[in-house]
Chain A
Amino acid sequence: MGDLDNLLASREMILVAGSGGVGKTTIAAALGIAAAERHKGRVLVLTVDPARRLATALGLDEFGNTPTRIDPSAFGDAGIKIRGEMWVAMLDTKAGWDELIRRHAPDPEIRDAVLANPLYENITSRFVHSHEYLAMEQLHDLHARGDFDLVIVDTPPSRNALSILDAPSRMVEFFGSRLLRWLTVPYRSRLFTVASKPFYQVADRVLGSRFLQDIADFFVLFQAMESGFVRRAREVEALLVDPRTAFVVVTTLETAPSHEARFLARSLLERRMALGAIVANRVLPRELADTAAADSAAALLDQASGPLADQVAARLDAPIKQVRSVLTQIASRFDDVALVAARESDRWAELAAMAPTMASVPWLDGDIHDLAGLGRLAGYLRDA
């Protein structure tokens, strides 16, 4: 088994991926703290989670596209000794797109025309997984600037984990696609193109020529930025398979998220991208699945109404009726929890077989809402 500390030391980019709701953002922040505890240098955590919760937990009012440094004294107050610097930034899709258009537009007129197009916002927020692409793009940008020793990216939750991996190549494909060619055919020549004539006729009737024209206008402008976009997308794609990049897959040990995690781990392998570690979050203690515990629970259920209850009641100076009820409840409910723990330990083993490093974070009382809580999480990750 590898070591998460070494992973944080040897890589320059870490992408944290997994299904929604498994605690990805929190784990990404904790990895940032773990890196800053262990190593000197500048660590940036780039999140896509617009929730204020992370900002609050990090002791910030809010943060945006521009990296913000977390006050070193805040770590001291939370009992965390850090050697490096920790910075955070949030991905802003709209601002990210505007910036991309500004960079790749061949001249100011095209730039302004794209930004002013009525469909611009609507289209960029939807097509070819633009959110995922933007996350990749921003990562590339930060890496190219060289301001940070380690960048940790909390990737957008996607229904399909692959969309983040394939976003750059989809962008390249889009520019070479038949769709873009058809959309950008001048309106007059459309009805004379034999292959696509039925398409235009039906599309006109259903969607209206005006809407199609709006779409065409946008993509004609967009096409002018092809070379810039395609070059960038290729660079971003290269970054994903770069040896300095690694993925950390976060999951809980429930059925659906762990299934998705295994799928993601296999997909990384197929694409020759590096799986650095799998982090199992909110894990039940393994001893819950032990036979010894099950035997004790069965014995407790047998004795819950007998002399044992009297002994416990005497020791606690508590009413016998309630003690009986408590012992019966505790013993009879144990099987349910033990069953879940058994399933979890089976899934843990399946995931561990795929990962060079496997870390577990136990289910912690309540939710993480401050720096000290994140520090505790970082401790579990480093102990893996």
Chain B
Amino acid sequence: MDAKGALANAFDVGELTFEPTEVAPNLHAMAMNTEDSLREYLRLFVRVPLLGRIGPLASTFDFVADAAPGVKEILGVGKLCWEVREQHYDLVVVDAEASGHIVSQIGAPRVIADLVQVGLVRDQTQWMLDILDDPDRTGVAVVTTPEEMPVTETIELLARLRSETGAHASAVIANRVLPVMFNRREQAIVDRLDEALPVLVDAVGAGARTVLEAARLTESRRATGAGHLDRVRAWIAESDDVAADLPIVTVPELFARASGPRVVSLVADALTDELDPDTVTSQRGAGRG
């Protein structure tokens, strides 16, 4: 949905358009575009006869969509629901907008149903709501990193999601999680390693000080991050807004140099290790870029 070209980079394909591209066997990718979505909508539902007239019409609609509540969002979410309803794919994965905007995006059919009393668009909100509200068909995977702000936003989103959009959270995915380096007994040694610094410097050179510092920094970052993830865990356990068994899936920090297909396949491997294929039926994803 967030057409900045990040998805095209991830698959290493030139540019993604509204028209899907097969980026790997059985894997298709597209980029949302409100104007194309409107064009398709008008063709399918309104049967606007003269295609030539849609051009200026579409740009005017874009203006209206900027000012009128819910119009732009419904064009996006409507397209997704349409793909699900027509069963063009077995699974539709949506790289949704950042967590601050996701509620107004998935919640658009509700806003439209509230604000628009008559008209084609209102009549079409019900089947979208049926798809979005059904936990067997739609799940929101909230992606976060183990840092203060992203975790706080994740909790805020989980608290609002069900009541304001009707959609169910299906997982929290914690990305870039640093691995545990030391067990408890080892940590006790690390904490006192300064006492042995002269021995280390003698043996491996003055850089030993920096090497120790790096380990200490990484461990401190890991511990701070783990504390933030504990906040999500505790919140899920206590909250009535999400299922008590909402899974938190972790993807390790990869330290990889490149982005693109290499990183994508590493992340996919990590996710495969974490996910139990029998329990995951999610159709949509949301989160921070």
Taking beta carbons and an 8 Å cutoff, which residues of A are in contact with B? 20-21, 51, 118-119, 122-123, 126-128, 157, 159, 177-179, 182-183, 196, 198-199, 202-211, 214-215, 219, 255-256, 284-285, 287-288, 290, 292-297, 299-300, 303, 308, 311-312, 315-316, 318-319, 322-323, 325-326, 329-331, 333-334, 336-340, 363, 365-367
Cα separation A287 to B2 with both chains bound (whole Å): 37
Proximity bits, B202-222, A CB within 8 Å = 1, else 0: 011111101111110110110
A22: nearest chain-B partner, CB-CB: B149
Cβ contact within 8 Å between B192 and A300 = no
Assembly CA distance A271 to B258 (angstroms) = 33
8 smallest CB-CB distances across A and B, nearest first, come from A208-B119, A296-B207, A179-B63, A293-B210, A299-B204, A293-B207, A208-B118, A292-B207
A292 cross-chain contacts in B, Cβ below 8 A: 205-207, 210
Question: B224, A205: Cβ atoms under 8 Å?
Answer: no
- Contact status B60-A199, CB under 8 Å: yes
Residues of B close to A126: CB separation below 8 A: 67, 69
* B204 x A206 contact (CB < 8 A): no
Asked if B69 contacts A123 (CB within 8 A), the reply is yes
Contact of B203 among A208, A294, A308 (CB under 8 A): A308
Q: Which of B162-202 contact A (CB under 8 A)?
A: 181-182, 185-186, 188-190, 192-193, 195-196, 199-200
Asked if B196 and A285 sit within 8 Å, CB to CB, the answer is: no
Given contacts A288-B213, A330-B211, A330-B212, whether A300 and B185 have CB atoms under 8 Å apart is no
Residues of chain B within 8 A of A203, CB atoms compared: 61, 64
If the complex has contacts A199-B57, A297-B211, A340-B255, are A208 and B186 also in contact, measured as CB distance less than 8 A?
Answer: no
Q: Which residue of A lies closest to B115 (CB)?
A: A211
Q: How many residues of B contact A (CB 8 A)?
A: 66
Interface residues of B in 21-60 (CB under 8 A from A): 42, 46, 48, 53, 57, 60
B214 adjacent to A293 (CB under 8 Å): yes
In the complex, chain A residues whose CB is within 8 Å of the CB of B61: 199, 203
* Inter-subunit contact A206/B46 (CB<8 Å): yes
- Which residue of chain A has its CB nearest to the CB of B66? A127
B195/A315 in contact, CB under 8 A: yes
- Which partner residue on chain B sits nearest A215 by CB separation? B68
Complex CA gap A21/B153 in Å reads 10
How far does the alpha carbon of A316 sit from the alpha carbon of B185 in the complex, in Å? 13
Chain B residues whose CB sits within 8 angstroms of the CB of A178 once the complex forms = 60, 63
Whether A206 contacts B63 by the Cβ 8 Å rule is no
Q: A206 touching B64 by the CB < 8 A rule? A: no
- Which residues from B are CB-within-8-Å of A159? 2, 98
Q: Do A290 and B211 have beta carbons less than 8 Å apart?
A: no
CB atoms of B119 and A205 under 8 A apart: yes
A–B complex contacts, Cβ < 8 Å, 28 sampled: A20-B100, A21-B149, A118-B115, A128-B66, A159-B98, A177-B63, A182-B63, A199-B60, A202-B46, A207-B68, A285-B217, A287-B213, A288-B214, A290-B207, A293-B207, A293-B211, A294-B207, A312-B193, A316-B192, A316-B193, A322-B185, A329-B181, A330-B190, A333-B218, A334-B214, A334-B215, A337-B218, A340-B255
B46 touches A205 (CB 8 A): yes
Give Cα A210–Cα B116 distance, bound, in whole angstroms.
7
Query: Do B255 and A336 have beta carbons less than 8 Å apart?
Result: yes
- The residue among B48, B147, B149 with the most chain A CB atoms within 10 A of its own CB is B149
B120 within 8 A of A: yes
A21: nearest chain-B partner, CB-CB: B149
Task: Write the B131-149 contact mask toward A (1 if CB under 8 angstroms, else 0).
Answer: 0000000000000000111
Residues on the B chain within 8 Å of A119, using CB: 69, 115
Asked, given contacts A208-B121, A308-B199, whether A285 binds B208 with beta carbons under 8 Å apart, the answer is no
A interface SS class: helix
- Note all chain A residues with C-beta closer than 8 A to B119: 204-211
Q: Are B193 and A326 in contact (CB under 8 A)?
A: yes
Cβ contact within 8 Å between A316 and B215:
no
* Complex: chain B residue closest to A308, CB-CB: B203
Q: How far is the CA of A336 from the CA of B222 in the complex (A)?
A: 14
Residues of A within 8 A of B68 (CB): 123, 207, 211, 215
Give every chain B residue within 8 A of A207 (Cβ-Cβ): 68, 71, 116, 119, 121
Chain B residues, CB < 8 A from A337: 214, 217-218
Q: Which listed residue, A51, A198, A312, A322, touches B199 by the CB 8 Å rule?
A: A312
A205-B46, A300-B211, A315-B196 known, 10 other contacts, Cβ within 8 Å: A178-B60, A178-B63, A207-B68, A296-B207, A296-B211, A308-B199, A326-B193, A330-B190, A336-B255, A338-B214
CB distance from A231 to the nearest CB of B (A): 22
- Which residues 68-110 of B sit at the A interface, judged by CB distance below 8 A? 68-69, 71, 98, 100
B239 at the interface (CB under 8 A from A): no
A123 and B215 alpha carbons, distance in the complex (Å): 51
Q: How far is the CB of B203 from chain A (nearest CB, A)?
A: 5
A300, B204: Cβ atoms closer than 8 Å: yes
Give Cα A222–Cα B111 distance, bound, in whole angstroms.
22
- Chain A residues with Cβ below 8 Å from B217 are 284-285, 337, 363
Q: Does B233 contact A (CB under 8 A)?
A: no
B115 adjacent to A20 (CB under 8 Å): no
Within the assembled complex, what's the spacing in Å between the Cα atoms of A118 and B257?
Answer: 52
Residue among A208, A290, A312 making CB contact with B200, cutoff 8 Å:
A312
Cβ contact within 8 Å between B57 and A210: no
B272 at the interface (CB under 8 A from A): no
Q: Quick one: which of B190, B200, B215, B220 contacts A308, CB cutoff 8 A?
A: B200
- Which A residues are in CB contact (< 8 Å) with B53? 198
Given known pairs A202-B48, A365-B220, the reply for A287 and B199 (CB within 8 Å) is no
Are B189 and A323 neighbours in the complex by a CB distance under 8 Å? yes
Q: Flag whether B117 is at the interface (Cβ < 8 A).
A: yes
Q: Tell me which residues across on chain A come within 8 A of B257, comparing CB atoms.
A: 339
CA distance A219 to B67 in the complex (A): 10
**Minimum C-beta distance from A360 to chain B (A):** 15
A121 CB to closest chain B CB (Å) equals: 9
Question: Is A318 a contact of B189 with CB atoms below 8 Å?
Answer: yes
